[in-house]
Each structure stands twice: as C-alpha cells, then as structure tokens.
Amino acid sequence: MTPGESDGLEATFASFVPLDRLRALARGQALPDRARGAALTGDLSSFTPLVTELRKSLAAKRAAEEITRHLNAIFTPIIDITHRFGGSVIGFAGDALTCWFDGDDGIRATAAGLAMQRSIADVRPVELPGGRRVSVGIRIAVVAGNVRRFLLGDPGLQCFDTLAGSLLDRLEGGLRVAEQAEVLVGKEVAAARGGDLDVAGPRTSAGGEEFLSVVGLTSSVEPLSREELPRVPAALLRPWVPHQIASRLASGGDSFLGEVRPVVAVFIRFDGGHYDDPRADGRPLDDYVRFVQRTVAELEGDVVELTLGDKGSYLYVVFGATVAHENDAMRAARAAMALRAPPGDLALGHRPQIGISTGEMRVGTYGSPVRRGYGVQGQEVNVAARLMTAAAPGDILVSQRVADAIAHRVAVEAVGELALKGIDSPVQVCRLLHERDVASPASSERAGPPLVGRASERAAMIAALDRVMSGASEVVFIEGPAGIGKSRLLGALVSFARDRGLEVRTGAAEEIERRRPYGVWTQVARAVFGIAAGDEGAVARARVLERLAGVPDAEAVLP
C-alpha cells in the first residue's frame, strides 16, 4: 500500500469514529465511562416513505444512487454543524442520529439543533417521477445531564460507541412528541439557560415529562473555530468499521455505493439493566453484545446498530446486506432461535423480544466524508422493529414473508393480523416456534428397487457392520461428487444395519450448518434421549437425566 493509499484508508476508517473518540485515540487516551453534557437526537421525517417511493419508481441501481445522494445531502451539513458547535456524532440509527456535547448545559446543543433546522429547510424537495415533490424534515430533541459512555463489542467484528442511561430514555421521550421542524429541550436546559431561549410552548411526553419548543435564541452562541481532524493509524481505527466493510476497503474495494437488495431485518430487545447505577458494570453487557455478534457472524450476518436505554435496549441485525445468500431468512431464524435463550452466564434480565421481516431495502454507507455510518433503510426495517415491540419476552414474531421462506425448516404458528404503529396496512404475523429436523436420506432407505452394483462398497459396509456386531466401534465415510449416488448407498447401509437388529438413529444437516460444532449429531442425541421438537432448557435436561438414570456420575457427564 502506497503512502497516499494509506492516508486515504486512515481518513475513511476515521469517518466511522465519533470525533471525541478520534481525538482521544490521537492522544493515546481513553474516554471516561461517565460524562456530563447534552445529548441531541434528530430523526428525519418522511424519509422512509421516500425510500419506498423511489424504489417503486426507479430501477434498483438508480433508486440506490438517488437515496444515497439525498441522505448525504441532508446529513453532511448536519454533521458539520454538530462538529462546529463542539459536538460528536455518536451513532446513526436508520435515518436518525445521536450527538453528544460534552460539558454542555444544553445551550450549544440547542444552537446546533436550530442550525440543523435551518440547514434542512434549504434542502430542495425531492422530485419523484411523475412530478410529485416530497420535502424531508427533521424532528430534534435535546436533554442535558449525566450519561454512561460504553465501548462495546468484539474488535475483530465491530466496536460500538454508545451512550447509555435514563438520559437516553428522556431523549427518546422528547423526540416522540416533537413535530417536524421543531427543537424540543428538556426542562433542565430551560432551567439552566431559560433567559437565552425563545420558547414557543410546552410539550408533554408519554411519561409525563415536560419539554419546551425552542424557536430561537435571545443571545448569540458562536460556532467553534474549525480544527483539522487528528491523524490516527488505520489499524487503531479498524475496530469501529463493520468487519466486512473494513475488509473490502483494506483490499481496495468500494463499499460506499448504496444498493437496493433483498435484506432480512432482525430487531432484538433486551434488558441491559440500570446504567445510571454507580455500581453498574459494563462487562456483562459487553459479553452479551459479543455473544450476539459471534452468533450472527457465524451465519454471515451483521450487527449494524446498538441502542441502550434504562427502559429497554436493542440490537439491529441484518442478513443479506454485506453478504447475500439464498437462505438469508433461514439464517436469520437460526440466529434468533440461538439468541432468544442466551447461556445463563450471558443472560441479561428477561429473555429478549425479537422481530423479523424481509423485503427490498437500501443498504450502504451514508453521512459525510468526515463522519458516516453503515445502515439499511426501508419499510420492512420498521416492520421488524414493531414486531420486536409486540413480541413477549422469549418470543420471535415474523412477517408472513419470512414464515413462508423458512416453513420447510422451522415450525411456526399464525398470530393473525396486527396493526403496527407507523405501518399503513395490518401485517400478517406468525410466531416462530422451533426448528424441524432435516430429512435424512436414511428415512427412505427401503424405497425403490434394490441396490444394484457397488459390490466393493457394499462389501466394505457389511464388513464394518459385522465388526460392530462383534463389539467394535466403526466409522464409515461415504463421499463422492454430486449425483453419484451417495444417498442411495447410505440408505442401503442403514437397511443392512436394521436387518442385523441394530438400532439406527439418523441425523442430517444443510449447508447453513457447516459451522455448527457437532450439528449433525443434535438430531441423533435428541432421538436417543427422547427430547421432542421444541423441548429446551430444564425440560431437555430432565429427559437426559431420566435416560441416564443409574449411570455413575450422570450429573458430571451431563454437559
């Protein structure tokens, strides 16, 4: 890699890192995990319907280009304003972003929010084919107080820079009641800087908290002078870049062109605890996030967002975005089933609530050259998020399209039509129950005419069975090119075994299970111990112990 290429990679990787974290890395310092300041969140209105309209009106490639262009045109000045008023963009969540103004009592964040509203008012409406024009606005909320600042996740996959605590719940409450083109501030901002705020009127959140609508400032808040971005080696920055994106960029690929493609969206809500508690330790949370990342990565999906709040936290996972497969819906279902019952040492409070949906969505990076994120936008993202909210702890709710795609491998039950907030029409919903066993070639070994030929293979199998009958243990491998008759030969082996009075248990697996340790033996073990489909946890343990009754040290061998 030439010096110029190295510099380009450093700048690109740096754009995935919040500005205050970037400066700390340049100084060789860590950011404290507790901070006081102001948080701002901004959420674009009308953008998800715009994504849907552009996809309906334009070919996939053109739609992706247009969506990316409009996103960048909106976010570039917003990011610049955040930095000029002393803030850092902590993260993106679809068409929203969260910013942190360290040490601020709310006045700089409010000034930034008002400047953002002015900047978006200058963005020209999007003209759709047919002449219809759509204007995109933004809703903004600002609160001030104490937060936790966590750095979570596996550096080999992706690190997440996050804010946490009740301040984030208050921020979300304010955003929910903010209207387009409005900046709402918490009462603590008004208490500290009320004389500097031109206030239009109050708003009350669903939790009963009062916010104030600010239309201007009565005193000037000057932007800070622009500082040159610090230089940090790419190797130190790579953990903040999604691993698939980082690998492509490091090898000279282009990962910034947006695409419209089929994607499966998975939202996982979990109980992370009370982050404001001074005794709260971030290590269990980090262990849980890494567990989710590893589970998803083994199935070649991506964790793209992490949001923390005392009233609920969630992870946003996608399959088919950076790597596409024909069975992405099944991969998502497999991940969800593994994640709904975490190992005891990783469980955080109640079991997670999970929602899954699928459809064509816009995928890719967006933002500005100095701060960007990787994300997936589209209507089905909202459907998956609403299904997560509707799910009970331990439940996995899926859209009908997902249920149809996985029905051959997963048992589901119909829930019926649900009216989901923000979705125009009711959605047909199913509950994911448990995985079905893969059909084994051995199950039909007696079908069809007798096996003809393969004399040497038959002799080898019969000799192995004879040794088993005499008390030996044997392993027989049957391998060869596709279509040569391996399944037929396997069926014959099972038939020969049963003719000798041997008990036969079978297991099978698909390509998706190639990384699952001992995966093919799961069906065998369940059959031996009488574990029915859907049995798990204490039920499965009890059945194993029942079968091991009388075996010395059964508890010791149970794992």
334 pLDDT higher than 70: yes
C-beta neighbour count of 492 within 10 angstroms: 22
| % of the chain at pLDDT higher than 90 | 52
Q: In this structure, are strands 133-134 and 160-164 parallel, antiparallel, or unpaired? A: unpaired
Can you tell me the distance from the alpha carbon of 402 to that of 397, in angstroms, rounded to the nearest whole number? 10
**Cα separation, 438 vs 93, whole angstroms:** 37
Give the span between the Cα atoms of 429 and 418, in whole angstroms: 7
The H or E element that residue 235 is part of is helix 234-237
* DSSP state letter for 474: -
Please say if the pLDDT value at position 445 is more than 60.
Answer: no
Q: Tell me the mean pLDDT in the region 491-520.
A: 74
According to the model, what pLDDT value does residue 447 have?
Answer: 47
Phi–psi pair at 484, nearest 5 degrees:
-85, -10
Give yes or no for a contact between 375 and 305, defined as CB atoms under 8 angstroms apart.
yes
pLDDT of residue 509: 66
Question: Phi and psi at residue 162, in whole multiples of 5°?
Answer: -135, 150
Tokens at 52, concatenated: 């849907």
| pLDDT attached to residue 519 | 67
| DSSP single-letter state for residue 29 | -
Question: Which pairing describes strands 183-186 and 137-152: parallel, antiparallel, or unpaired?
Answer: parallel
Q: Where does the pLDDT of residue 400 fall: very low under 50, low under 70, confident under 90, or very high at 90 and above?
A: very high
Q: What mean pLDDT value characterizes the chain?
A: 87
Q: What is the DSSP-derived secondary structure letter of residue 476?
A: -
Using an 8 Å Cβ cutoff, are 14 and 6 in contact? no
Task: Return the pLDDT at 492.
Answer: 80
* Partners of 314 in the β-ladder: 269, 307
Helices 537-547 and 521-529 cross at an angle (nearest 10°) of 70
Q: Which residues pair with 41 in a beta bridge?
A: 98, 141
Does the pLDDT value for residue 217 go beyond 90? yes
pLDDT value for 206: 86
Residue ranges of E strands in 349-421: 353-368, 371-377, 396-399, 410-418
Sequence-separated (6 or more) residues with CB below 8 Å from residue 414? 428, 429, 430, 431
Distance separating alpha carbons of residues 300 and 320, to the nearest angstrom: 8
User: Is 60 exceeded by the pLDDT of residue 4?
Assistant: no
| Predicted pLDDT at 226 | 84
Show the beta-strand stretches assigned E in 271-400.
302-307, 313-319, 353-368, 371-377, 396-399
Encode pLDDT of 76-91 as tens digits: 999 999 999 999 999 9
Question: CB of 432 within 8 A of CB of 410?
Answer: yes
d(CA 530, CA 507): 14
CB 309, CB 367: distance < 8 Å: no
Query: In whole angstroms, what is the distance from residue 392 CA to residue 381 CA?
Result: 19
pLDDT at residue 113, as a whole number: 97
Amino acid 307: pLDDT: 92
Q: What is the 3-state secondary structure (H, E, C) of 479-543?
A: CCCCCCCHHHHHHHHHHHHHHCCCCCCCCCCCHHHCCCCCCCHHHHHHHHHCCCCCCCHHHHHHH
What integer is the mean pLDDT of 261-280? 86
Residue 517 has pLDDT above 80, yes or no: no
Q: Other CB atoms closer than 10 Å to residue 456's CB: what's the count? A: 8
Residue 2 has pLDDT above 60, yes or no: no
Q: What are phi and psi of 435, to 5 degrees?
A: -80, 140
- Rounded mean pLDDT, 233-244: 94
Q: For residues 490 and 363, which has the higher predicted lDDT (pLDDT)?
A: 363
Question: And the tokens for 342?
Answer: 């975490």
- d(CA 492, CA 459) in angstroms, rounded, equals 12
